[in-house]
A and B are shown apart, each in its own frame.
Chain A
Amino acid sequence: MLVLDRLGKIYPNGVNALERFSADIRLGEIVAIIGGSGCGKSTLLRAIAGLDRATSGTVTLDDISISAPHAKIGIIFQEPRLLPWLSVADNIGFGLSELPADLRREKVARALARVGLVDKANAWPRELSGGQAQRVAIARALVPQPEVLLLDEPFSALDAFTRRDLQDHLLDLWADTRPTLVLVTHDVDEAVVLADRVLVMRPRPGRLFEEIRVNLARPRDRHSPLFDNFKRRVLTALDRSLDRNLADADPKTTTGEAMWW
Chain B
Amino acid sequence: MAMTVELPALERTDVIVAARPAPLSRLRRLARPALGLLLPVGLALAWEIIVWLGLSSGRLVPPPTKIFATLVGLAKSGELSQHILATLSRVGAGFGLGVAAGTLLGAISGYWSLARRLLDPTVQALRAIPSLAWVPLFILWLGIFETSKIVLIAAGVFFPVYLGVMGAILSVDRKIVEVGRTFRLSGPAMIRRILLPAVLPAYVVALRVGLGLGWMFVVAAELMGASEGLGYLLLDGQQLGKPAQILAAIVVFAILGKTTDWLIEVATAPLLRWQDAFGRQGGAA
Contact = CB atoms under 8 A, between A and B. Distances in A.
Interface of A: 49, 51, 68-71, 74-75, 77, 79, 81, 83-86, 94-95, 97, 124-126
Contacts of A68: 184
Given A79-B175, A81-B175, A83-B194, A49 B276 contact: no
Given A69-B184, A71-B184, A83 B179 contact: yes
Contacts of A86: 274
A83 B175 CA distance: 10
Contacts, number: 44
A69 B179 contact: no
Contacts of A51: 178, 181-182
B250 to A, nearest CB: 40
A221 B99 CA distance: 63
A71 to B, nearest CB: 7
A23 to B, nearest CB: 21
Contacts of A85: 197-198, 200, 274
A95 to B, nearest CB: 5
Most interface-central of A68, A69, A74, A124 (chain B CB within 10 A):
A69
Given A94-B183, A95-B183, A126-B276, A81 B197 contact: no
B183 A84 contact: no
Contacts of B273: 124
A146 to B, nearest CB: 10
Nearest to A127: B276
A124 B274 contact: yes
Interface in B242-285: 273-276
Nearest to A77: B175
A219 to B, nearest CB: 30
Interface of B: 175-176, 178-179, 181-184, 189, 193-194, 197-198, 200, 273-276
Given A69-B183, A71-B184, A94-B183, A84 B274 contact: yes
B202 to A, nearest CB: 13
Contacts of B184: 68-71
A69 B182 contact: yes
A66 to B, nearest CB: 12
A69 B181 contact: yes
B178 A81 contact: yes
24 contacts: A49-B182, A51-B178, A51-B182, A69-B181, A69-B182, A69-B183, A70-B184, A71-B184, A77-B175, A81-B179, A83-B179, A83-B197, A84-B274, A84-B275, A85-B198, A85-B274, A86-B274, A94-B183, A95-B183, A124-B273, A124-B274, A125-B274, A126-B274, A126-B276
B182 A75 contact: yes
Most interface-central of B176, B183, B197, B200 (chain A CB within 10 A):
B183
B280 to A, nearest CB: 9
A69 B190 CA distance: 14
Nearest to A126: B276
